[in-house]
Amino acid sequence: MEAIKLDEFRARIKAQGTSDRAHAAFKCPMCKTIQSMTSFTRAGTDAETAEKYIGFSCVGRVTGAEGPRKQPDGKPCNWTLGGLFRFHELEVIDDAGKAHPHFEVATPEEAQALEASITTTEGQP
C-alpha cells in the first residue's frame, strides 16, 4: 500500500490536467473503473453527495451495481472503503498525521480520457 501526504495527493490531481475539480478522477480498487464527481452527478446524485463519495465509494454504489467480480469487467461495482476489508491501495496522510483510505488517483491519461468521454456524450466538443 502507498501512503502519501496531502500535498502530494493534491499535486497528483493537479497533474491530471482536467478542466476542473469535478473531473478529477480516481480508480476503484476492486473493479478498476475510473470515476469523477461528474460520474456521480451523471448517475443521479447531487454535487454534495458526489463530493462525499468520490474516492471512497465506487459509482456503482449509487447505480445499483453488483459486488466486485473476480476479474474487472469494465463495469462499476458497489465497493466502499472504511469497512472490515482493507483492499485499498492508497492512504492519504493529512496534516495531523492521520491516514485516510482513498481510491488511487487516476493517471493523467485516464482522467483526461474520462473527461473527454463525458463531454463528448453531453454533446460538447
Taking CA 68 as the corner, what is the angle to CA 66 and CA 71, rounded to the nearest 5 degrees?
A: 125
84 band by pLDDT with thresholds 50, 70 and 90: low
Predicted structure pTM score: 0.91
Greatest CA separation for the chain = 44
For range 52-78, the mean pLDDT: 94
- 39, 125, 113, 87 alpha-carbon torsion, rounded to 10°: -10
Q: What is the mean pLDDT of the chain?
A: 93
Pairwise CA distance, residues 42 & 23, whole Å: 12
Average pLDDT over residues 46-53: 96
Mean pLDDT value across residues 59-70: 94
DSSP state of 57: B
What is the percent of the chain with per-residue pLDDT over 70, rounded to a whole number?
Answer: 94
Closest CA to 80 of 6, 13, 28: 28
**Rounded (5°) CA angle 114-39-34:** 45
> Around Cβ 81, how many Cβ atoms within 10 Å?
21
